[in-house]
Amino acid sequence: MSESRRNAPHIAIPVPHSGDREEDREYAARALPSYEEAVRGAGGEPVRIELDQTPAQVMKQIERCDAVLLPGSRADVDPKKYGAKRHEKTAPADPKRDAVDELLLQDAYKMRKPVLGICYGLQSVNVYRAGTLVQDINSTNVDSKINHSAGRTVAKAHTVKIEPESKLAEIVGATKAVAVNSSHHQSADAAGNGLRVVARSTEDGIIEALEGTAPGHFVLAVQWHPERSVNDGPEVAESAHAIFRAFIEAARAKHAELAAASAVIESKATRVRGDFNGLFGNVLCLSHEDTCVDHEGRTVTLQEGMTLTAFDEDADEHGNRDNIIASGTVEPSPEWLRCRGSRWILRIDENGVRHESDLTSQR
C-alpha cells in the first residue's frame, strides 16, 4: 500500500444487504464496489463492514474508521421502528444490516465522525434520528409523473431543487435544479432530530436530501445514487464528484483531529495495561487487550501507527526512563504471535529496548 493510501481517511461501509438467497448475494456483490470505487476516487480508503459479525467485532473495525457511508439496500426499514403499520408494498427488513447501521451511527454521532447516507442510507439515518418514512411513494403521489424507481440504467431520472443556504448547495454549487438518477420507492417524511430537509424533487416535492444541523458535524444523506453517477455525463457526474469530495475532505479533517488527539496522549509517558508476553526479535508482544493507560490513568485505545512507550507495570515510578521496557510503533500482531493470544505488538525503535529487562528475547 502506498504512503498516501495508508494515510487516507478510512471510511466504514456496511455490506448493502445480508441474506442467503442468490439475489441477495448478487445485489450485495454488484452494489458494494461502486461505493468503494467512488470513495477511493475521492481520496478515501473504504473499509468493508461485514454483516455477520458480532457487535464487538463490528466496533473493533469502526473505531479505527474516520467516517461512515451508509449505502443502498434491497430491504426497507422496519416500520415498527418509526411507529407505523406496515404498508403492503414495504419490503422485508434486513435485521443484520439494521444492527450494523445502528452501531455505525452510534459511533459516528458519539465521535462526531462524518456521515454520508445514500438511498436506503438516508432512510436509515432519518429513522435512527426518530424521523419517519413514506412507505410507498406511488401510493401517496398518484399524480406524480416521475418514476422514482427508474433504476441504474437511467442516468438522469429527474431534477432536485436544493435549499440555497444549505451545506449541500455549498458542496454542489447549485443555483438551479440539479439532475439526479433515482432508484427508490420510499422516502423521508418527517425529518429526524438534528436533521433538516435540504432538497426536494422539483416536480412532485418528494424529499431528496437531508443534512445535519449540528455545527461542525458533517451529516449528509441523499435519496439518489451519486456513486453510480461519477462515471456518467457531466450533468450528473459533477455534483456526484462534489459530494464525495466534500465527504472525504470532512473525513480527512476528522482523521487529522483524531491523530492530533492521539499525539497529545502519546506525548505523555504511557504504560500498557495487561501482560507483557515477551520480546520476539524486534517486537514486544503486548497483550490480547485493546487499551493502554497513560500516566494519569486515562484509558487509550491502541491503534495501528500509534507511537507508544511501555513501562514496567510493577515499577514504582512509571515515568522513570529506567523503567522503560520498550518504545516504538503499535501494529497488529502477526499470525505467529496471534497464536499466543496477542492482538497487538510494539515494533521497537532502534534505541527503544531496555536491554537489562528481565524479559527473554527470542523468536
Name the catalytic one among 45, 211, 227, 266: 227
Residue 292 known to be catalytic: no
Q: What angle separates helix 95-111 from helix 55-62, to the nearest 10 degrees?
A: 40
Residue 227 known to be catalytic: yes
Q: Could you give the 3-state DSSP secondary structure of residue 127?
A: helix
CA 287 – CA 341 distance, rounded (Å): 7
Burial of 351 (0-12, 13-18, 19+ CB in 10 A): exposed
Sign of CA dihedral 8, 14, 16, 21: positive
Residue 74 DSSP code: S
Name the catalytic one among 36, 45, 119, 255: 119
CA–CA–CA angle 52, 62, 342 (5° rounding): 85
Q: Phi and psi of 60, rounded to 5°? A: -60, -40
Q: How far is CA 335 from CA 126, 283, 288, 332, 340, in A?
A: 42, 13, 13, 9, 9
Name the catalytic one among 225, 241, 255, 318: 225
Residue type at position 144: S
What DSSP line would sit under 286-340, residue for residue?
Answer: --S-SEEEETTS-EEE--TT-EEEEEPTT-S-TT-GGGEEEEEEEEEPPHHHHTT
The answer to whether 184 and 228 have CB atoms below 8 angstroms apart is no
Residue whose C-alpha cell reads 436509515 in the numeric block: 124
Who's near 47: CB < 8 A, 6+ residues apart? 10, 11, 12, 13, 61, 62, 64, 65
CA 283 – CA 295 distance, rounded (Å): 22
Residue 66 DSSP code: S
CA 38 – CA 36 distance, rounded (Å): 5
CA 190 – CA 197 distance, rounded (Å): 9
Residues serving a catalytic function are 119, 225, 227
